[in-house]
Amino acid sequence: MSTFPVPHLQETATWAQQNFEVSVPPDNISFDHLSEVLGKRLEYLISKDFQQFIFLLYRIDVSEKKVRQILAYAARQGTDPYRPIANLIIERQLQKIASREAFRQDNLPDDEERW
């Protein structure tokens, strides 16, 4: 797993709390801990509220192909798909944060001139 800046992980944890209704302690946040918490929530969603799970994946813009590959692999191996899917979701959110940061244009005077 790559190393991500702590502020990005904290922002992702806050995002996960809001979107997945999970509780993530803000101190000492790590990718693995966030993956564990989110994985448990995904287990619930997949087994009890699959429509909500699909809706969230669509909204987050996670690759459907990658999710299907994870599910197929887990079915073949007899393993749980929850943590790998959680990792995929977290990585996607971290990509979005990094992208926003890279394209932020704070040096322009107002929104009008940003276009």
pLDDT of residue 44: 96
Give pLDDT, residue 106: 57
pLDDT at 7: 87
pLDDT value, residue 1: 46
Query: Residue-wise pLDDT tens for the chain (115 aa)?
Result: 457 788 899 999 999 999 999 988 777 789 999 999 999 999 999 999 999 999 999 999 999 899 999 999 999 999 999 999 999 999 999 999 988 888 876 555 555 555 5
What's the predicted TM-score (pTM) here?
Answer: 0.84
How confident is the model at residue 25, as a pLDDT? 78
Q: Where are the alpha helices (DSSP H) in 2-114?
A: 6-20, 31-48, 50-60, 64-77, 82-103, 111-114
pLDDT at 68 (0 to 100): 94
Domain ranges of the chain: 6-100
Cα gap 9→7, rounded to integer Å: 5
Q: Tokens at residue 87, please? A: 């990792």
Q: Nearest Cα to 90, choosing from 44, 41, 27? A: 41
